[in-house]
Structure 1
Amino acid sequence: MLRVDREPSLNIACVGAGYVGGPTCAVIAHKCAHHRVTVVDISEERIAAWNSDELPIYEAGLSDIVKECKGRNLFFSTDVDGAINEADIIFLAVNTPTKANGVGAGFASDLTYLEAAVRRVVKVARRSKILVEKSTVPCRTAESIAQVAAANARPGVHFQVLSNPEFLAEGTAIHDLLHPDRILIGCMPTEDGLKAQELLTNIYAKWIPRKKIIGMHLWSSELAKLAANALLAQRVSSINAISAICEAVGADVGEVATACGQDSRIGPHFLTASVGFGGSCFRKDILNLVYLSNALKLPQVAKYWEQVNLMNEYQQHRFSKRILAALFNTISDKHIAVLGFAFKKGTSDSRESPAINVVSDLLSEGANIRIHDCKVPSKQIFRDLACSLANGRGSVEVCETPYQAAMNAHALVILTDWADYQTLDYKAIYCSMSKPAYLFDGRSIVDEQEVRQIGFDVHIIGRARERSLPRLYQNVLADSRAVV
């Protein structure tokens, strides 16, 4: 195995130039100028974008770091074999989507790209290397990687496999990389495994306190990634379930969340009701847990975690139905302005965005949708909605400004919590819309009283349209007065 020096100058390669590999390696290059970092991908288009001034993904601060390091000790290339040959450490950051066909379809991760990457590494490598899992993978995937590597390696070439899961929140990925809550590095508790773990620890220790770098067993590290995302998603679905009750009884989910968040045992994080969670991780990781639980003959555990995803889907469709009901149960040929298509603010990523389901529901009713988003390109929006447009009766137009989207619209629907949407001239928007003008806030970002005074018919997630006493309590109150 590699000798662990105090300050070794290493060649680091990353296979996969996506949302994980690109930012992670950019920060490593930024903080470890003595290491050479090369990000490789078979997509010429993606690598060309990384080498241009228009990066393929948006993250605050990423462009500045890439510009500083690119050509110095950070490189983006399609020469996969060359980077593998030169590397001491290879990060595996390829896509592991949910399987669409075969055993486990709809739940299990498709490891085709990961296995292909491992086989290519082993085929090319002429000396021993450390392989680092960065892709989100099912528990014990490292065992499969090690078996493939051992069975195909050249004589005298050995591979150590580490698990180093990412915990990046899109929109704050660079901050998360620079100031992580923790870094997990899982290894097999062998002499060579522990040496490899220490080598990777030394890289991160250049800017992260060692107390935040946690060594553990491979299986624990792999499972911790799935568990963390599942627990976070569970909180979102839980408060969204409460939001449905709030709307029914006239409570305010924001007030309920504040009351619960003040409890030190619960805390305030991830208790903001919304139209639902999205992104590439939450849904996929929960489905992985469901599949794993069923495979381990734990059906009750599987059903528990599956309900988190079902609740998220219910919330999105429930919001769509609220829009339809308010607009007199008919939106055919009506114009609806949608503000936000990214799954959250601060990112151009629209994977699993709640906007996809909501817009698709509206299209199925024949609505004409105008969409504005601060970062998601129009071609991505149309790609995400391709099936819905083919099967729906409505239309989609992507607008350059929120004001263009709202012109003559019957309703304004906020689906992403971009800060820009909090400071819009809602009075001007109201004046440009058809009347009555409806505003549906799926992210609770507008000042309800202010926009209501402008004239909007306001519907905010987790709040009843009018906070009057529900009929049940009105009847009880009337009966008590009659007795008096």
Structure 2
Amino acid sequence: MSTKRTSTTTPAAESAAQPLRLTVFGTGYLGATHAVAMAELGFDVIGVDVDQAKVDALAAGKVPFFEPGLPELLEKNLQTGRLRFTTDAASAVAGADVHFVCVGTPQQRTSHAANLAFVEAATSVIAQNLTQDAVIVGKSTVPVGTAARLRELVAGLVPAGVQAELIWNPEFLREGKAVDDTLHPDRIVLGGASAKAEAVMRAVYAGPIAEGSPVVVTDLPTAELVKVSANAFLATKISFINAIAGVCEAAGADVTVLADALGHDSRIGRQFLDAGLGFGGGCLPKDIRALMHRANELGAHRAGALLQQVDEINMGQRERVVDMALEACGGSVLNKRVGVLGAAFKPLTDDVRDSPALNVAAALHLRGAQVTVYDPEAGDTARRAFPTLGYGVSVEEAVEECDVLLVLTEWDQFVGADPQRLAALARTPRVIDARGKLAAAEWRAAGWEFTGLGRLAA
């Protein structure tokens, strides 16, 4: 059974003879952020990766992705000497006390199941190279049951005379807010930890715990399920309001006002109730599909069926926005100029993995539209992923001479743009607000033909 324990005092780290030394395996989005944050909390940290170019970039103070606040903390902690990066796993593991596994778990190419090859490889390398007793901490998002299997793997690989305990400590990072989420987490989950391992982890997270971050101590399966269940719930909430948006359109109601009214109910809340293009990115889509796959494996078919519907509703929103663009252009976008504001799957990131915005832009391009995409941070990553699309360097360039404008990522500069000034640039001032963030009355007053998902017609 899960138990919840909270602490507002600095834990048993005070009894340690010397500061804990940490390694972080994997220096992608999760790993790089975690390594920097752990150094910021005062630990000596070595980030380990098999990609020499990634290691060299981080060692030079360059973050290979956009995340507010991370470059400054990276540079600061490199200068203090508390943080370094290497491809030499053996030397990094030797002498360290806690080893975090932060590698990716992408979806398998042939199914919805998670690919655990990177997690297994990192865990094996750590176990084989241990020179002293240590705690191996899984942070990667994995299917339930993975940690128990990894424990067996570790037991067969650790050198004689060395004790290693594998526990699970899931991550809850939000892109765009990852630094704050790591330094000031809203909860710390420890799965499968003995009293000794729990004391070590309370020492690692002494700062956040002292600030009031609650610690949830539980078993391995529960810890593995927390992250994917949280993502599944958020995805379900998004798909729910998008399904209701369809009802609003049919009934002549306004989903934004409806969502505001629902949000006043403390049991529901307003967050993630914005009807629109739906969710994307590197976590929610793959995580709900992996959970769907695992639930069906375990015979929990109701959960699998629910998540299937959530996924279908979400993907249907992209098709709906494409249809709205076609309708706005008289049934065809062939040789029409389409302006697209947004490429990242959400604001405050340059992540375009499974981006609904780029999915819609590419679909219109395939139908013969002349598409110009602008995103303040994701232009380069979008160009690498979809090189056949056109890209602008400003909002104005995307809007210029467009037959229809699509707002597909809710960056502040798009939401706060001057509709009067932009109307003068468009060939035909038509706008589709696919994120439900524009002030419809202001855009209509400025001369725009305005449509949105679940929004009242003019």
Shift of 1:402: 1.1
The question of 1:441 aligning with 2:451 is answered no
The aligned counterpart of 2:341 is 339
The aligned counterpart of 2:269 is 267
Where does 1:36-47 land on structure 2 (aligned, <5 Å)?
36-47=44-55
Shift of 1:43: 1.2
Where does 1:107-122 land on structure 2 (aligned, <5 Å)?
107-122=112-127
The question of 1:17 aligning with 2:49 is answered no
- Give the percent of matched residue pairs that are identical in Structure 1 and Structure 2: 33
Shift of 1:407: 1.4
Contact 1:249 1:464 in 2 (8 A): no
The question of 1:29 aligning with 2:31 is answered no
The aligned counterpart of 2:445 is 453
Contact 1:412 1:439 in 2 (8 A): yes
Task: State the SS of the aligned residue for 2:376.
Answer: coil
Deviation sequence 1:382-401 (CA, Å, 0-9, x none): 33336xx5xxxxxx111111
Deviation sequence 1:111-134 (CA, Å, 0-9, x none): 011111122222222333211111
The aligned counterpart of 2:235 is 233
Deviation sequence 1:35-68 (CA, Å, 0-9, x none): 2011111112222222335411222221221121
Task: State the SS of the aligned residue for 1:162.
Answer: strand
The question of 1:382 aligning with 2:390 is answered no
The aligned counterpart of 1:58 is 66
In the alignment, residue 461 of structure 1 is paired with which amino acid?
Answer: L
The aligned counterpart of 1:93 is 102
Contact 2:31 2:102 in 1 (8 A): yes
**Alpha-carbon distance in 2 for matches of 1:63, 1:185:** 29
Shift of 1:235: 0.5
In the alignment, residue 411 of structure 1 is paired with which amino acid?
Answer: V
**Alpha-carbon distance in 2 for matches of 1:460, 1:21:** 38
Contact 1:408 1:434 in 2 (8 A): yes
The aligned counterpart of 1:140 is 145
Where does 1:462-473 land on structure 2 (aligned, <5 Å)?
462-466=454-458
Q: Which blocks of at least 5 consecutive residues in structure 2 are unaligned?
A: 1-11
- Which has the larger Rg? 1
Task: State the SS of the aligned residue for 1:206.
Answer: helix
TM-score (structure 1 length as normaliser): 0.88
In the alignment, residue 87 of structure 1 is paired with which amino acid?
Answer: A
The aligned counterpart of 2:93 is 84
Match of 1:418 among 411, 414, 433: 411
The aligned counterpart of 1:474 is none
**Alpha-carbon distance in 1 for matches of 2:54, 2:450:** 42
Shift of 1:135: 0.7
Change (3 A) 1:246 1:108: same
Match of 1:430 among 423, 428, 439: 423
The question of 1:74 aligning with 2:83 is answered yes
Contact 1:85 1:126 in 2 (8 A): yes
**Alpha-carbon distance in 1 for matches of 2:20, 2:174:** 28
Task: State the SS of the aligned residue for 1:462.
Answer: coil
In the alignment, residue 104 of structure 2 is paired with which amino acid?
Answer: N
Q: Which blocks of at least 5 consecutive residues in structure 1 are unaligned?
A: 390-395, 467-484
Contact 1:293 1:302 in 2 (8 A): yes
Change (3 A) 1:52 1:397: farther
Task: State the SS of the aligned residue for 1:63.
Answer: helix
The aligned counterpart of 1:282 is 284
When structure 1 is superposed on structure 2, of 348-357 and 337-346 the one drifting more is 348-357
Match of 1:361 among 344, 352, 363: 363
TM-score (structure 2 length as normaliser): 0.93
The aligned counterpart of 1:479 is none
Contact 2:328 2:404 in 1 (8 A): no
Contact 2:13 2:203 in 1 (8 A): no
Shift of 1:4: 6.7
**Alpha-carbon distance in 1 for matches of 2:55, 2:217:** 33
User: Could you say which structure has the greater relative contact order, defined with CA pairs below 8 angstroms and 6 or more residues apart?
Assistant: 2
**Alpha-carbon distance in 2 for matches of 1:9, 1:65:** 20
Change (3 A) 1:142 1:463: same
The aligned counterpart of 2:6 is none
Deviation sequence 1:276-313 (CA, Å, 0-9, x none): 01121111111122111111122232111111111100
**Alpha-carbon distance in 2 for matches of 1:180, 1:155:** 37
Aligned length: 444
**Alpha-carbon distance in 2 for matches of 1:53, 1:414:** 34
The question of 1:179 aligning with 2:188 is answered no
In the alignment, residue 428 of structure 1 is paired with which amino acid?
Answer: R
Contact 2:132 2:162 in 1 (8 A): yes
Contact 2:343 2:357 in 1 (8 A): yes
Shift of 1:9: 0.8
Contact 1:4 1:195 in 2 (8 A): no
Deviation sequence 1:136-183 (CA, Å, 0-9, x none): 111121111111111122211222111111111111112222322111
Shift of 1:18: 1.1
Contact 1:187 1:194 in 2 (8 A): no
**Alpha-carbon distance in 2 for matches of 1:53, 1:154:** 35
Task: State the SS of the aligned residue for 1:458.
Answer: strand
**Alpha-carbon distance in 2 for matches of 1:27, 1:211:** 15
**Alpha-carbon distance in 2 for matches of 1:16, 1:431:** 49
**Alpha-carbon distance in 2 for matches of 1:356, 1:203:** 40
